[in-house]
Structure 1
Amino acid sequence: MPMKNEQQLATQTAVLQNEKLTVLLQYMQIHSPYYQRLFAEHKITADQITTVEDLKYIPLTTKEDLQAYNDDFLCVPKTEIVDYVTTSGTLGKPVTFALTDRDLKRLTDNESRSFAIAGVTKEDVVQLTTTLDRRFMAGLAYFLGTRKLGAAMVRVGSGIPELQWDSIHRFQSTYLIVVPSFLLKLIAYAEAHGIDYNASSVKAAICIGEPLRDQNFELNTLGAKIKEKWDIELYSTYASTEMSTAFTECAAHNGGHHHPDLIITEILDDDGEAVQDGEVGELVITTLGVEAMPLLRYTTGDMVRAHKEPCSCGRTTMRLSPVLGRKKHMIKYKGTTLYPQSVVEVLTSFEEVLLYVIEVITNELGTDKLLIHVSDALSAADCKALKEHFRANLRVVPDLVLQPLATLKAMKFPEMSRKPITFIDSREG
């Protein structure tokens, strides 16, 4: 019986997505200058694409397309726009996204459902430790989603551990929305000021921006460090401005759950073909129900794998693994292929390194060269130990670049950036 139910649900999901895709393609053919041009160039009409499987006949949309033709993706008059946001610019020039009132309602629905998956209820007090301004879509989504759930929100904003702890005590916050590495700063502040954080009202953190788990869903070094100190539930969530949709973990912590009525996902290899089940590939998305700037077969650049077996929580939707890395950030160094996240893992597990920036450049031979910018306060013994740590964990040893603390902080926290910089890609081309 369970197998039959799973098949029935899969069929229902396919029918739902096919119907929504048909509506989307007809909408784009009428309203999107960019996709009108794309369809004309490739002699595609909306009625030719009737199923998700037919998407393979449509060319991919890339970040470069969005950057080059940003205004052409807009499908509504500017008088219908109620909010503007921009991407963070991690992979180049930031892109502007416009939202209508309908888009904000969709964003609200997505986030309320995602937070509910992580266990947030009307009884909770959610503390936002990230910005709500600076054209940041996520902060707005977190606020709107919490409001729809009926939970209370404390909008503290980024940084300032003293104010965060004051807010936790004052409002008895139960959930934190937080970049996970900031939890370590909250712990350090609490320990320095005699705060018993394990006796606080906080029971869980919804973690954004940094991975908490490895590909086997075990806590990575960062996650384990937090959990060892502070016994709270840690939930991962993965999203982007372009997707206007989140993949959030449930209490089983086995990947981020898919909302099939809000987004179509494909996972493709380097040739643009679908990978086999369980294999790693680039996530490609098609947004459903977006009015102002819908996207069709947009390449996210994120390398993931899909898990399609039912979750122990009872949900049968596909789940996404933690992001292995960005496709464009893949490094080929001394015969080894790696992503910045694996370098982050090594640095996070080395106690003496408190601040770092990873950089990859092109060397005189035209190949990748990996640099790790660290504080010049590190001793010679620490530098030697760090290199051995890299050799043992990654089988390669990057070059250490010792920087004055002020210089390193300026690299890590650029004045106009919404988030700390961990990786700089300075390769030619």
Structure 2
Amino acid sequence: MEFYPAIEKSGIEEIKKFQEQKLQELMPYLETHSPFYQKLFKENNINPADIRTLEDLQKIPTTTKNDLQQYNHDFFCITPDKIVDYSTTSGTLGDPVTFGLSDGDLERLAYNEAISFACAGIQKGDVVQMITTIDKRFMAGLAYFLGLRKMGASVVRMGPGIPELQWDSIFRYKPKYLITVPSFLLKMIDYAEKHSLDYKNSSVYGAVCIGESIKNQDFTDNILSQKIKEKWDIKLFSTYASTEMSTAFTECEFQIGGHHHPELIITEILDDNENPVREGESGELTITTLGVEAIPLLRFKTGDVVKAHYEPCGCGRNTMRLGPVVGRKQQMIKYKGTTLYPPAMNDILNDFNTISCYQIVIQSNEIGLDEIIIKLSTEQEHETFVNEVRDHFRAKLRVSPKIEIIDFDILSKTVFNPNSRKPITFIDLR
């Protein structure tokens, strides 16, 4: 299969040499074309020609989402007439960050998705239903479409929502794979059961899951994927990606983390002092993009806390694998002496079948401490249920948040905002 690059099966040393060669091509490109990095090199007395090995990267200061937002224009390395597509990401300071892609960048994006989907077992001729948006300046949907087209798969572009229409498409075009936010699969199952659809015997073999985690740190299924699989026996594949890296980490059939594509990106995992973490420890994923023309990034801190896995994988790839995101650096919560990340709270709330919708809100109280408010909708008798949820939090996370019961019609409007690609289950008001 052509979408299984030889470099991913090469030895660790060979992969490192290959990446260093790519890094040596990137440095002069940035020096010539990137106003932001020209200034960074000058201010820090860095001679790009001195950066030859992966270890040398540590001589260069990191780039943050803040830099990207403040100096957005200075990151562009090509003139506007060379930009074929504009995408935006939600900015940490509220203002979106603009990404332009050249023709070559779109080609690279298509290649990335093709080799990523190939990891999950998608092949030429497979029918794939995209339950994701391809508009509203999101890069992801476009990337999926380009990748599937490149590998010769057939695409059903459904877009998000409307279970009835999704099932109509499944029975009509018989897709083998779905690309979706995993929590939406529960809505589809619920619809199918209420309308007596024979969903268990549909054509669907697997779903490539985006935007939400479906695994625990030890790669066992988390509550969300257990709930899906209890009802519908399909394969679920984890992915991790971001607009800034224009690259995805996708699981293979062995499902022990998303595989790194060394020809597209250099990864570092750094502690709070920006030193590489020891093997087996988690830290902030920091990336250097390879082969990007419009907005290449050098040592960009993604804000995601992750753990890397290096032992060989049964699929034959020798590349590093990323486990599920532990949490977002920005979203770390200090609550009564305990450090928490939202994914751990999602798991607890997903444990309850009677919660139809929830949102976690973090705010600072009058003395500047973090306060957690869980808003949820349920049909159950309120008081007993609130105590049950609280007890579950105490047992699992040793904290007891404030819980508010809100009418489903009101809460669901803020959680399933039509302008958002995934459910808004976490709001940080600090």
- TM-score class normalised by the smaller sequence: over 0.9
User: What's the CA shift string for 1:96-115, capped at 9, x where partnerless?
Assistant: 10000000000000000000
Q: Deviation of residue 370 (structure 1)?
A: 0.7
Residue 260 of structure 1 corresponds to which residue in structure 2? 262
User: What's the CA shift string for 1:117-163, capped at 9, x where partnerless?
Assistant: 10001131000001010101010010011011101000000001011
Partner residue of 1:402 out of 395, 405, 414: 405
8 A contact 1:134–1:418 mirrored in 2: no
8 A contact 2:416–2:423 mirrored in 1: yes
1:318 aligns with 2:320: yes
8 A contact 1:88–1:418 mirrored in 2: no
8 A contact 1:359–1:426 mirrored in 2: yes
Partner residue of 1:276 out of 261, 275, 278: 278
Residue 244 of structure 1 corresponds to which residue in structure 2? 246
1:122 aligns with 2:140: no
Aligned-pair identity (%): 58
Residue 203 of structure 1 corresponds to which residue in structure 2? 205
User: What's the CA shift string for 1:249-297, capped at 9, x where partnerless?
Assistant: 0010000000001000000000100000110000000000000000000
Residue 36 of structure 1 corresponds to which residue in structure 2? 38
Residue 147 of structure 1 corresponds to which residue in structure 2? 149
Do the aligned partners of residues 256 and 103 (structure 1) sit closer, same or farther apart at CA in structure 2, a change above 3 Å counting?
Answer: same
8 A contact 1:222–1:348 mirrored in 2: yes
Residue 426 of structure 2 corresponds to which residue in structure 1? 423
Counterpart AA for 1:423: F
Counterpart AA for 1:81: I
Counterpart AA for 2:137: R
Residue 362 of structure 1 corresponds to which residue in structure 2? 364
Residue 56 of structure 1 corresponds to which residue in structure 2? 58
8 A contact 1:207–1:234 mirrored in 2: yes
Residue 95 of structure 1 corresponds to which residue in structure 2? 97
Q: Deviation of residue 7 (structure 1)?
A: 11
Do the aligned partners of residues 264 and 134 (structure 1) sit closer, same or farther apart at CA in structure 2, a change above 3 Å counting?
Answer: same
Partner Cα separation in structure 1 for residue 96 and residue 347 of structure 2:
27
Do the aligned partners of residues 62 and 334 (structure 1) sit closer, same or farther apart at CA in structure 2, a change above 3 Å counting?
Answer: same
Partner Cα separation in structure 2 for residue 409 and residue 15 of structure 1:
51
Partner Cα separation in structure 2 for residue 384 and residue 354 of structure 1:
17
Partner Cα separation in structure 1 for residue 99 and residue 83 of structure 2:
10
The answer for unaligned runs of 5 or more in structure 2 is 1-6
Counterpart AA for 2:325: V
8 A contact 1:13–1:260 mirrored in 2: yes
Runs of 4+ displaced beyond 4 Å: 5-8
Partner Cα separation in structure 2 for residue 8 and residue 70 of structure 1:
37
Counterpart AA for 2:190: A
2:220 match: secondary structure: coil
Partner Cα separation in structure 1 for residue 358 and residue 237 of structure 2:
25
Counterpart AA for 1:144: L
Partner Cα separation in structure 1 for residue 109 and residue 20 of structure 2:
21
Partner residue of 1:72 out of 65, 71, 74: 74
Counterpart AA for 2:385: D
User: What's the CA shift string for 1:278-327, capped at 9, x where partnerless?
Assistant: 10000000000000000000000111111111101121111001101101
2:114 match: secondary structure: helix
RMSD: 1.6
Partner Cα separation in structure 1 for residue 309 and residue 196 of structure 2:
43
Partner Cα separation in structure 2 for residue 324 and residue 345 of structure 1:
12
Residue 374 of structure 1 corresponds to which residue in structure 2? 376
1:296 match: secondary structure: coil
Do the aligned partners of residues 7 and 169 (structure 1) sit closer, same or farther apart at CA in structure 2, a change above 3 Å counting?
Answer: closer
Residue 388 of structure 1 corresponds to which residue in structure 2? 391
Partner Cα separation in structure 2 for residue 195 and residue 210 of structure 1:
26
Counterpart AA for 1:253: Q
Do the aligned partners of residues 17 and 281 (structure 1) sit closer, same or farther apart at CA in structure 2, a change above 3 Å counting?
Answer: same
Residue 228 of structure 1 corresponds to which residue in structure 2? 230
8 A contact 2:8–2:317 mirrored in 1: no
Question: Which stretch of structure 1 is more off in the superposition, 310-319 or 410-419?
Answer: 410-419
The alignment's TM-score, normalised by the length of structure 2, stands at 0.96
Q: Deviation of residue 397 (structure 1)?
A: 0.7
The answer for unaligned runs of 5 or more in structure 1 is none
Q: Deviation of residue 88 (structure 1)?
A: 3.5
Counterpart AA for 1:145: G
8 A contact 1:352–1:382 mirrored in 2: no
Residue 186 of structure 2 corresponds to which residue in structure 1? 184
1:396 match: secondary structure: coil
User: What's the CA shift string for 1:314-358, capped at 9, x where partnerless?
Assistant: 211110011011011111111211100000000000122111110
1:354 match: secondary structure: strand
2:167 match: secondary structure: helix
Counterpart AA for 2:404: V
The alignment's TM-score, normalised by the length of structure 1, stands at 0.96
Partner Cα separation in structure 2 for residue 140 and residue 14 of structure 1:
31
Q: Deviation of residue 419 (structure 1)?
A: 2.5
Partner residue of 1:414 out of 393, 417, 428: 417
Partner Cα separation in structure 2 for residue 348 and residue 7 of structure 1:
38
